[in-house]
């Protein structure tokens, strides 16, 4: 305000009389205004010359940053890339220090410059922006100093997990020091209000700096906690419960729990691995929890036993049930619960290559492991006569062969860790750890399998649960169509269509959930069958169901012969410990060689539409169900005739006031459009 008055006084000095000024702001204010103006004028003159120096240094820093980025992205041997990028980062740090020294004397002025058009927010946040860059560069420099040996192609750290664990354990104090410096960058970044920044700087932070900081945070956390997770600290060995999920019989967290084992890890060494059939882990001398009503009504299961632990969509809930029910037959506590599906094994074999298994005359690899596992579940005549036949012995063979290959030293752990990361992102691998730091890391990256909607955004998760006592998901295709009507932004309407296509060959005129006739070649692994599915749909809290077209299932198709006129039930998600969602469920049966579509029309909460200076924002998160691979989804958005679309996801097709976006759910989907009148 003072500077504005000073400017008007200077420009219109002949028109504003002394008496007028004195009358409005007083004598002492006139002196202050004039003094402030002349000080700013002198600083402005000096800044012209100083600005040339600052601009020159800023250009050098920008060029340094581009050089680092090019080195990291360029194809080159790891050691060469590491060395070159390290030198480039040191240069960047040195040049940034020179720029910081030039800017430092003027930082006190930055909060006073918020009024500057477009770049006022950048100037006001300059102190924190510099603090972010300074701490981030320092932590990167320190990281290079610590982790340099890992870049050497001939180093045993890359192929020997035990050596890697020892290396990380020996450098824990230095890793913690890096984390402390990095925390300074996080603290400064948290103070920056992104909405106040110029578009260029906002995009730079959101698109480049923030992902870099998240990667660093994850890497440092993993480096700090990996020795503990692998039983290589004073805490001693760690024991984890492993759940093998079969996605051919799809369940909410990935598939029917077909087998389980504990695994003991000490100093990176593995022992106690022995998979057993999940059906053999019941102890009827114990009192079991009552089953959810759907499990009771649709599968005649009155209680939750171990193999049904993953009836719940929220994986932390599933892990808690699995750990608790596993204790009925195994009293030793575990330090976490790890679940994986068949596809995880397929992808791991793509990395490590073929494995040799006892009594298997051919190499087992990514192309045939699924067929091998299916065939192994069918007992031969000799096995039928054996009382001690292990139904899951084939899993032990695969697990030991896979682990031995991974730990042989022939496979670089860089490629293995990349595949593990992909499996976590695609939900073929789910982790729950009792370690608080790892729990936070898993939650931050959505690797814990929790149902996690975004605040003030639309949310969708469609979950299948095979209740047909079969493996028909091996031939079932699913697809989603989601139409959002935003013609009245204060009352958004969503229409969801869920389509299931059962590609099993036609074998019978009707469906029988129980006492069914199996094909001779599928008696041990029934795939060709109708698809009994309890369908769940999760939406934002406060969503209202306007209408739906649920299937009316013939009572003769259900094992309890219950009346099913077709209905959609509200789900009590508190049982699954899920916040901020509203669940809906319905029963359906898809006969062989047919398709079934179910429609839901929802009135969404008004807060899924937000306003901002850039326009009105609609965001949608679609969370993928674990165990699925790439369910196709088409998103249609209908807008009012008087609006324009300011931004939309790449690949969107815009026709007038309608938008179409088609993709698949290989990972979670984040969809966002900005529109305005």
Question: Which pair of tokens denotes residue 455?
Answer: 């605040």
What pLDDT does residue 467 have?
A: 97
Which position has the higher pLDDT, 427 or 137?
427
Angle at 222 between CA 216 and CA 225, to 5 degrees: 140
- Is the predicted pLDDT of residue 6 greater than 60, yes or no? no
Q: Which residues pair with 498 in a beta bridge?
A: 480, 598
Mean pLDDT, range 275-286, rounded to an integer: 94
Rounded Cα gap, residues 361 and 350, in angstroms: 20
338 — pLDDT class (breaks 50, 70, 90): very high
- Is the predicted pLDDT of residue 221 greater than 70, yes or no? yes
Run of H or E residues at 537: strand 531-540
Which position has the higher pLDDT, 69 or 360?
360
| Backbone φ/ψ region at 268: left (φ over 0), alpha (ψ -120 to 50), beta | left
26 — pLDDT class (breaks 50, 70, 90): very low
Cβ(525)–Cβ(378) under 8 Å? Answer: yes
Q: Are strands 256-266 and 631-639 parallel, antiparallel or unpaired?
A: unpaired
- Is the predicted pLDDT of residue 3 greater than 60, yes or no? no
Rounded Cα gap, residues 670 and 414, in angstroms: 28
- Is the predicted pLDDT of residue 223 greater than 80, yes or no? yes
In the chain, where are the structural domains located? 2-225, 238-444, 458-676
What does the CA dihedral 86, 92, 97, 100 come to, rounded to 10 degrees?
-150
The packing angle between helices 78-103 and 126-147, to 10°, is: 150
Mean pLDDT, range 510-532, rounded to an integer: 88
- Is the predicted pLDDT of residue 164 greater than 60, yes or no? yes
Mean pLDDT, range 418-428, rounded to an integer: 95
What pLDDT does residue 23 have?
A: 44
Contacts (Cβ under 8 Å, ≥6 apart) of 507: 519, 528, 592
Q: How many residues does the chain have?
A: 677
Which position has the higher pLDDT, 69 or 328?
328
7 — pLDDT class (breaks 50, 70, 90): very low
What pLDDT does residue 394 have?
A: 87
Q: Coil, strand or helix: which one is 543?
A: coil
Mean pLDDT of the chain: 85
Question: Which pair of tokens denotes residue 70?
Answer: 């090019």
Write down the CATH number for the domain with range 238-444: 3.40.630
Most confident stretch, 128-142, 382-396, 417-431: 417-431
Which position has the higher pLDDT, 359 or 650?
650
What pLDDT does residue 281 have?
A: 94
- Is the predicted pLDDT of residue 159 greater than 80, yes or no? no
Encode pLDDT of 588-632 as tens digits.
Answer: 999 999 999 999 999 999 999 999 888 999 999 999 999 999 999
What pLDDT does residue 58 have?
A: 63
Cβ(527)–Cβ(475) under 8 Å? Answer: yes
476 — pLDDT class (breaks 50, 70, 90): very high
Largest Cα span, the chain? 114
pTM for the model stands at 0.86
Q: Which residues pair with 493 in a beta bridge?
A: 485, 603
Rounded Cα gap, residues 484 and 496, in angstroms: 9
Q: Which residues pair with 477 in a beta bridge?
A: 501
Rounded Cα gap, residues 221 and 218, in angstroms: 5
- For 549-604, the three-class secondary structure string (H helix, E strand, C coil) is CCCCCCHHHCCCCCCCCCCCEEECHHHHCCCCEEEEEEEEEECCCEEEEEEEEEEC
**Residues of the chain above pLDDT 70, percent:** 85
DSSP 355: B
Q: Coil, strand or helix: which one is 648?
A: coil
Q: Domain 458-676, what fold? A: Immunoglobulin-like (2.60.40)
| CA neighbor of 326 nearest in space, from 309, 350, 351 | 309
12 — pLDDT class (breaks 50, 70, 90): very low
Helices (H) and strands (E) in the chain, counts: 18, 21
What does the CA dihedral 552, 553, 554, 555 come to, rounded to 10 degrees?
-120
Encode pLDDT of 175-191 as tens digits.
Answer: 999 999 999 999 999 99
Encode pLDDT of 425-474 as tens digits.
Answer: 999 999 999 999 999 999 999 999 999 999 889 999 999 999 999 999 99
Q: Coil, strand or helix: which one is 511?
A: coil
- Is the predicted pLDDT of residue 509 greater than 80, yes or no? no
Cβ(276)–Cβ(259) under 8 Å? Answer: yes
Cβ(197)–Cβ(125) under 8 Å? Answer: yes
What pLDDT does residue 53 have?
A: 62
- Is the predicted pLDDT of residue 30 greater than 60, yes or no? no
């Amino acid at each position: 305000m003072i500077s504005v008055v000073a400017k008007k006084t200077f420009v219109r000095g002949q028109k504003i009389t002394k008496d007028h000024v004195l009358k409005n702001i007083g004598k002492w204010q006139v002196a202050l205004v004039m003094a402030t103006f002349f000080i700013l004028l002198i600083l402005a003159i000096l800044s012209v010359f100083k600005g040339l120096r600052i601009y020159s240094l800023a250009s050098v820093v920008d060029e340094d940053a581009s050089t680092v980025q090019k080195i990291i992205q360029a194809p080159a041997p790891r050691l060469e890339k590491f060395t070159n990028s390290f030198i480039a980062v040191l240069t960047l740090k040195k040049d940034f220090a020179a720029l910081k020294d030039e800017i430092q004397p003027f930082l006190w002025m930055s909060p006073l410059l918020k009024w500057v058009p477009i770049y006022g927010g950048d100037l006001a946040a300059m102190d924190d922006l510099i603090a972010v860059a300074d701490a981030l560069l320092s932590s990167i420099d320190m990281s290079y100093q610590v982790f340099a040996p890992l870049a050497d192609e001939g180093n045993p750290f890359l192929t020997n997990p035990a050596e890697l664990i020892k290396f990380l354990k020996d450098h824990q104090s230095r890793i913690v020091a890096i984390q402390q410096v990095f925390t300074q960058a996080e603290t400064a970044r948290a103070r920056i209000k992104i909405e106040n920044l110029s578009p260029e700087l906002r995009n730079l932070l959101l698109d480049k700096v923030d992902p870099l900081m998240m990667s660093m945070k994850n890497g440092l956390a993993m480096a700090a906690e990996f020795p503990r997770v692998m039983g290589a600290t004073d805490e001693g060995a760690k024991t984890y419960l492993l759940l093998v999920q079969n996605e051919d019989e799809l369940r909410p967290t990935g598939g029917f729990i077909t087998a389980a084992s504990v695994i003991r890890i000490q100093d990176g060494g593995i022992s106690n691995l022995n998979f057993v059939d999940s059906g053999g882990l019941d102890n009827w001398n114990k009192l079991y929890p009552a089953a959810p009503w759907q499990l009771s009504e649709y599968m005649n299961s009155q209680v939750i036993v171990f193999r049904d632990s993953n009836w719940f969509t929220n994986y932390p809930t599933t892990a808690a049930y699995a750990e608790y029910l596993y204790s009925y037959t195994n009293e030793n506590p575990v330090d976490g619960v790890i679940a994986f599906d068949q596809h995880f094994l397929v992808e791991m074999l793509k990395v490590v290559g073929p494995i040799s298994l006892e009594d298997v005359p051919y190499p087992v690899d990514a192309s045939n492991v699924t067929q091998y596992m299916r065939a192994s579940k069918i007992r031969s005549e000799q096995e039928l006569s054996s009382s001690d036949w292990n139904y899951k012995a084939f899993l032990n063979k695969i697990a030991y062969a896979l682990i031995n290959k991974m730990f042989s030293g022939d496979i670089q752990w860089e490629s293995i860790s990349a595949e593990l990361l992909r499996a976590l992102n695609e939900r073929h691998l789910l982790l729950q750890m009792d370690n608080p730091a790892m729990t936070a890391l898993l939650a931050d990256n959505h690797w814990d399998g929790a149902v996690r909607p975004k605040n003030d955004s639309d949310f969708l998760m469609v979950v299948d649960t095979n209740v047909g006592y079969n493996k028909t998901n091996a031939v079932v295709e699913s697809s989603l169509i989601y139409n959002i009507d935003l013609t009245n932004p204060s009352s958004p309407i969503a229409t969801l269509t869920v389509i299931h296509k059962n590609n099993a060959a036609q074998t019978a005129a009707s469906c029988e959930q129980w006492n069914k006739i199996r094909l001779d070649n599928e008696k041990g692994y029934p795939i060709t069958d109708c698809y009994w599915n309890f369908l769940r749909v999760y939406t934002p809290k406060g969503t209202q169901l306007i209408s739906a077209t649920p299937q009316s299932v013939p009572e003769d198709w259900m094992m309890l012969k219950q009346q099913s006129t077709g209905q959609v039930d509200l789900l009590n998600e508190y049982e699954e410990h899920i916040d901020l969602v509203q669940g809906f469920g319905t029963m359906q049966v898809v006969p062989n060689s047919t398709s079934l579509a179910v429609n839901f029309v929802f009135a969404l909460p008004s807060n899924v539409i937000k306003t901002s200076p850039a326009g009105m924002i609609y965001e949608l998160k679609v969370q993928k169900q674990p165990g699925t691979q790439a369910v196709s989804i088409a998103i249609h958005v209908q807008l009012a005739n008087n609006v324009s679309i300011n931004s939309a996801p790449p690949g969107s097709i815009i026709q007038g006031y309608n938008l179409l976006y088609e993709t698949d759910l290989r990972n979670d989907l984040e969809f966002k459009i900005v529109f305005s009148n």
